[in-house]
Amino acid sequence: MSTDFSTRWARAEVHTGLIQHNVAIVKERIGSAQIWAVVKANAYGHGSIPVAQAALAAGATGLCVAVVDEGVVLRRAGITAPILLLSEQPASLAELIVGYELTPTVSTTRGAAVLATAAATADKVVNVHIKVDTGMHRVGVSANEAVSLAQFVKSYESLSIEGLYTHFAVADTPSHPANATQLTAFNEVVDAFTKAGIQPPLIHAANSAAALSNADSRFSMVRLGIAMYGLLPGPGVSEFCAGLIPAMSIKAKVSAVRWVDAGEAVSYGLHRPLEKSSLIATIPIGYADGVPRALFGTGFKVLIHGVPRDIAGTVTMDQIMIDCGNDSSITVGDEVVLIGRQGDEVVTVDQWAAALGTIGYEIACGIGARMYRNYL
Ligand SMILES: *Cc1c(COP(=O)(O)O)cnc(C)c1O
């Protein structure tokens, strides 16, 4: 949907050098474990192909995605690194998975059997990762059935067990007791595999928060998502995230200005009458681009001329109006920063998230397909 050019006065700027910086920082902190970069959801809104390329250049050895389409996009861009699908996929996609040499997750015998048939038909041996549910209860084979699933997988010559993994439910709260419970359960599965003579080369459990905060969770590989983008997994791990730098800014230019009288209100619903005559600046970006409609009224501010300014009325699909008070210096074409730095001021994804009662992940992924992404 987005083109390779932009006619719009609104864009995301993605600094691939900062993606590399963030990967390098994590790499230095986690020792010998491999980094597989999580680029699902269009790389958390940053653009999956450039982010994948940057992460691999910075030392990541594999990639992770949520759905088959995301893996196909990367293969078609010429990326040859391993691409792990983070959960079992519909049986109808087995041929596509094998054809594009994606690395499937297996957590059921039925899923394994379908992949084995597709692999055998294509005369290939497919690497798979077995996912174990150790307490999050989203996907994965239960811990006490993991060895028998692995033995079932091993019975197929067309499948090879490359990985064994799990996923934490509360990694962003390192002191939560469930982290230790899940880790113990996972270690017991790893031991049971060893006893059964099955030793997958890649053992992994950690997302960003766990990788940075808990050395015991790193095993031979970590799945690095949010931290690679320079965003916090959660407030509970901020002390472990020092040095990470957000890689994406959202900028627009003022597209129209007008003086609006005291007592008049702005935008759909005419919700907030102005207390005094004010310069209203319109910017051509809206909720279709991922600026949530709910931001109006939260106290959230954007930057113009280095000054934080209020949203004057309801965020519309394609445009937002900004209350510039009595500042008559603002004109069409002036830069507006919605996320990022301007002068001494900075607006962060986490500020948006806090204003909206959500997490940075949701803000970043929400940056829409219509948004042009400029890579620096
Ligand atoms: C999304 C995801 C990750 C990445 O998590 P971050 O917190 O962004 O690092 C890792 N593993 C699985 C299974 C995921 O779904």
Partners of 249 in the beta sheet? 13
Query: Domain 248-347 falls in which CATH fold?
Result: Lyase, Ornithine Decarboxylase; Chain A, domain 1 (2.40.37)
- Encode pLDDT of 201-251 as tens digits: 999 999 999 999 999 999 999 999 999 999 999 989 999 999 999 999 999
Q: Rounded to the nearest whole angstrom, what is the distance from the C-alpha of residue 68 to the centroid of ligand 1? A: 16
Residue 154 appears among annotated catalytic residues:
no
Choosing from 40, 131, 253, 301, which is the catalytic residue? Answer: 40
368 C-beta neighbours (distance < 10 Å), count? 18
Closest approach atom of ligand 1 to CA 167: 13
Any ligand 1 atom below 6 A from CB of 167: yes
Same CATH topology for 16-237 and 248-347: the answer is: no
Any ligand 1 atom below 6 A from CB of 206: no
Instruction: Give me 85's structure tokens.
Output: 């699908």
Closest approach atom of ligand 1 to CA 211: 9
Residue 268 appears among annotated catalytic residues:
yes
Closest approach atom of ligand 1 to CA 233: 7
Any ligand 1 atom below 6 A from CB of 224: yes
Domain spans in the chain, listed from the N-terminal domain onward = 16-237, 248-347
Task: Reply yes or no on domain 16-237 having CATH 3.20.20.70.
Answer: no
Cβ contacts of 370 within 8 Å, gap of 6 or more: 1, 2, 288, 289
pLDDT per residue of the chain (376 residues) written in tens, 0 to 9 = 455 566 789 999 999 999 999 999 999 999 999 999 999 999 999 999 999 999 999 999 999 999 999 999 999 999 999 999 999 999 999 999 999 999 999 999 999 999 999 999 999 999 999 999 999 999 999 999 999 999 999 999 999 999 999 999 999 999 999 999 999 999 999 999 999 999 999 999 999 999 999 999 999 999 999 999 999 999 899 999 999 999 999 999 999 999 999 999 999 999 999 999 999 999 999 999 999 999 999 988 999 999 999 999 999 999 999 999 999 999 999 999 999 999 999 999 999 999 999 999 999 999 988 888 899 8
CA 89 vs. chain centroid, Å, equals 20
